[in-house]
């Protein structure tokens, strides 16, 4: 049988973790693009935001869009068309 001292220590550790995890967790979604009307179309890895937007523009235009915005805050950049 475990001592009360051990049970209290384990209980405090569990409670601390239960409070800390939601406070430190970040959202999994990308930063919203500037302005309205942007449609998320996927994500890909590019060396820079400029290269991402330049390479994605023909795809956007082929699908009836005229602008591309890549979220460069992530290694695999979320891509939006408008």
pLDDT at 3: 64
Model pLDDT, residue 21: 47
The pLDDT assigned to 34 comes to 72
Q: Write the DSSP assignment of 48-68 as a string of letters.
A: -HHHHHHHHHHHHHHTT---E
H or E stretch at 63? none
- Number of neighbours of residue 75 by Cβ within 10 angstroms: 8
**pTM for this entry:** 0.60
User: What's the average pLDDT block by block, 10 residues per block, for the chain (82 residues)?
Assistant: 59 55 50 81 96 97 96 94 95
């Amino acid at each position: 049988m475990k001592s009360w001292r051990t049970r209290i220590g384990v209980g405090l550790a569990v409670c601390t973790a239960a409070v800390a995890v939601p406070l430190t967790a970040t959202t999994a979604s990308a930063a919203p693009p500037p302005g309205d009307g942007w449609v998320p179309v996927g994500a890909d890895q590019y060396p820079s935001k400029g290269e991402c937007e330049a390479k994605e523009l023909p795809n956007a235009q082929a699908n009836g869009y005229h602008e591309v915005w890549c979220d460069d805050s992530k290694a695999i950049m979320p891509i939006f068309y408008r």
